[in-house]
Amino acid sequence: MKYAKEVVCCVCEEEKSINEGIHIFSEFLCRECESEIVRTETNTRRYRYFVQKLKRLTTFKSSV
């Protein structure tokens, strides 16, 4: 039996199957966090938390 690779979500930092989310640049975002981000009001503390976590997505990590 073949198992899906495990990756760590850049927001919740939990291990998830690679099939349970999306890759943005070199980071992984799980479906649960993606869904919560979309539903979160922009004037909340939780939204600011997501913004801080997602800031690292704008920095491309070079393998060189």
Asked whether the beta carbons of 33 and 62 are under 8 A apart, the reply is no
pLDDT in tens, 22-45: 999 889 999 999 999 999 999 999
Structure tokens at 49: 């938390």
Better-predicted residue by pLDDT, 64 or 42: 42
Structure tokens at 54: 């997602």
Q: What are the beta bridge partners of residue 6?
A: 17
Looking at the 3D structure of the chain, how many domains does it have? Answer: 1
Q: Concatenate the DSSP letters of all residues of 29-60 into one string.
A: EEHHHHHHHHHS-TTSHHHHHHHHHHGGGGSP
Asked whether the beta carbons of 55 and 24 are under 8 A apart, the reply is no
Q: Establish if 53 belongs to a structural domain.
A: yes
Q: Establish if 64 belongs to a structural domain.
A: no
Give the pLDDT band of residue 64 (cuts 50, 70, 90): very low
Please give the residue range of the domain that contains residue 37.
Answer: 6-58
Residue type, 1: M
Q: Establish if 29 belongs to a structural domain.
A: yes
